[in-house]
Amino acid sequence: MVEFKQRLLARNELAKYSQRGGGGLAEPQLRVYKKDPRAKLPVRSPESAIGLDVFAFLLTESGRPSSRAIHLKGVTSIPTGLIVQPPPGYFIQTCSRSGLAQRGVFVANSPGVIDPDYTGELFVLLFNGGYETQYVAHEHRIAQLILTPISWCTVTEVGEPPDSAGRGPAGFGSTGL
C-alpha cells in the first residue's frame, strides 16, 4: 500500500508539470484548420481528460445536418471537416470513445495514427461490431485525439533470437484469462 501511495504522489507531482500552463513548461499546440466554418474544433471534456473529442461533420449539399449508417460488421469513414497538425516531435492517436464502444462502435484501426506530415482532412474509420446498424449524426462525438510524443528508434538485425526469459515464445492467452 505504501508503494502504491508513493507512485500516486509521484504521478501527481508529474501532473503538476504536465498540466496546461503548469510548471513553466510550454504547452504543445495542436494546429487545427476548419475546412468549413461550421466544423467543430476538438474539445477536452471533461477538462481533466487526456483525449480531445472530435465531431462528425455530416452536412448535405444544401447544408442540412445529416447522418451516416454504420452497418453490422461494417466500416464507415466519417469526415470531421478538420485538418490537424501536431507540433514538431509529436503525432496524434485516434482512439475510440467509451460511449460508442459500449454500443459496439469503435475506431477500426485503433489507435489510428496521424503522422506529422499528413495534411489531408481527418476522417475517422468506425467499425460496428454490435448487433444492429448504428447511426452517426452531424456533430456527434466520434473519437478522441491523443497528442503523443514521438519516440524514434533504430532497427538492429541480430544473429540469434532473444534469450528466453519469463514467458518465452508462448503467446496469445499464455498467461490465462
pLDDT number for residue 163? 78
Distance CA 72, CA 131 (A): 6
* The pLDDT value given to residue 165: 67
pTM here is 0.78
Question: Which residues have C-beta within 8 Å of that of residue 114, sequence separation ≥ 6?
Answer: 84, 86, 91, 92, 93, 94, 122, 145
Nearest Cα to Cα of residue 106 among 74, 79, 82: 74
Cα 84 to the chain's mean position, in Å?
13
CA 121 to chain CA centroid, nearest Å: 16
Q: How many CB atoms lie within 10 A of CB 145?
A: 27
Integer Cα distance of 12 and 16 in angstroms: 6
Low-confidence residues of the chain: pLDDT under 70: 1-25, 165-171, 174-177
Tens-digit pLDDT profile for residues 75-100:
999 999 999 999 999 999 999 999 99
Q: How far apart are CA 168 and CA 162, in angstroms?
A: 9
Domain positions in the chain are 32-149
Q: Which CATH class is domain 32-149?
A: mainly beta
What is residue 26's predicted lDDT score, i.e. its pLDDT?
Answer: 78
**Distance between CA atoms of 49 and 31, rounded to whole angstroms?**
19
